[in-house]
Amino acid sequence: MKTTLKFIPLNHWILIIVNGKDSKKFLQHQLTINIDNLTDQKNFLYACHCNSKGRLLTNMKIFKYKHNCYGYIIRKNIAQIYLNSIKKYMFLYDVHILCSTKSLVGIYADNNTTQNFLLHVFQNSNYLMHKHSLLIDKDNILLKIRTMSRNKYLTIIIVNNIHNIISYIRYHKIAFSYNYDIKLFCQIGYPIIDKNNFTKFIPQEINMYKFHAIDLHKGCYIGQEIINKIYMANNHYNNNKLFSIKIKITNIIPRISDRLIITSQHTLTNKHYIINGYILTIYYFTNNQYCLMQIMSKIAITYNINIKILREHKSYSLYIQK
């Protein structure tokens, strides 16, 4: 097999299972999408789960797993605080929510390479995903995610036992690409919601509308009033946006906890605008010379924008790369 395949450990993600006869009704009253659109087991959808103030508990990739059973993928480090936050909504429903013990791994490659890998590992020619984004075969689940590359995909594989996969990877001497999923998600603009930014943002701020994760025409759900209010106000209620930029690491290594000072100059008036920014997540390239960051900002991040990190009463300039 060609070495163009990247094997990505996904230990920092977890599968949440929602089952019970009221599972669909519960999710319909909680999430920002219309659960009626999950009618089959051939595609997954992006969605958000918010609190009553419209703040994001988590975003997710959700799919119909079985009859009266749904699954969705979130960050592992928020799983417990997330489940504790939604317990109060479960009492009126016949529903059970738990963290699955299944393992998650990722494959990044073109269609042919991915299918060749799946055929050898699972010994099943049915593991072909040309038209659909979801495949469920007994206890195995595969999600196919589009990336910035036209002919390459991130395939998330969810299994009970990854022994066969690991054995195959080691036999073919394929290196582990740790955190490479973060790079891919940064590139497509998919926000990473973990413990550092739990309940800090509304869905519109982090571009979840670009993933069709907000249905403005469905019935009531938690946080709907705030989310619709912002939409009706043409986003002037809060105009933070999410940007992905590549930074050259020079005299400081950026951290998620860092405070950003962003300075912009108006092209007509020459006035300078200074605002605070927020780092959502960071991917460090293997050579440690560059990093890819998701930044929250109220002004568009372009190459002529001046960005500084403020740390311990000192400021450090960041250099945006094309």
- Map out the domains of the chain as residue ranges: 1-239, 240-321
Mean pLDDT of 136-154: 91
Class of domain 1-239: alpha beta
315 vs 246: CA distance, rounded Å: 19
Which is more confident, 238 or 265? 265
pLDDT at 125: 64
User: Has residue 118 got a pLDDT over 80?
Assistant: yes
pLDDT grade for 130, boundaries at 50, 70 and 90: low
pLDDT at 231: 79
User: Has residue 150 got a pLDDT over 90?
Assistant: no
Looking at the chain, the whole-number percentage of residues with pLDDT higher than 70 is 94
Q: Are 68 and 19 in contact (CB under 8 A)?
A: yes
Q: Does the fold of domain 240-321 match that of domain 1-239?
A: no
> For residue 7, which of 185, 187, 145, 168 has the smallest C-alpha distance?
168
User: Has residue 77 got a pLDDT over 80?
Assistant: yes
Cross-strand bridge partners of residue 224 = none
Which is more confident, 267 or 316? 316
pLDDT at 151: 87
User: Has residue 1 got a pLDDT over 50?
Assistant: no
pLDDT at 124: 73
∠ CA 11-14-16, nearest 5°, is 170
Question: Quick count: other Cβ atoms within 10 Å of Cβ 202?
Answer: 21
Amino acid, res. 281: T
State which CATH number among 2.60.420, 2.40.30, 2.40.160, 1.25.40 fits the domain covering 240-321.
2.40.30
pTM: 0.93
61 vs 73: CA distance, rounded Å: 5
User: Has residue 235 got a pLDDT over 60?
Assistant: no
Token pair recorded at residue 203:
């869905």
- Long-range contacts: 166-171, Cβ < 8 Å, 24+? 168/117, 168/120, 168/121, 169/7
Which is more confident, 27 or 229? 27
- Block residue for tokens 């999600």: 143
> For residue 32, which of 198, 227, 199 has the smallest C-alpha distance?
227
Q: Are 159 and 137 in contact (CB under 8 A)?
A: no
What are the CA-CA distances from residue 152 to residues 7, 115, 148, 299 (Å)? 13, 12, 8, 32
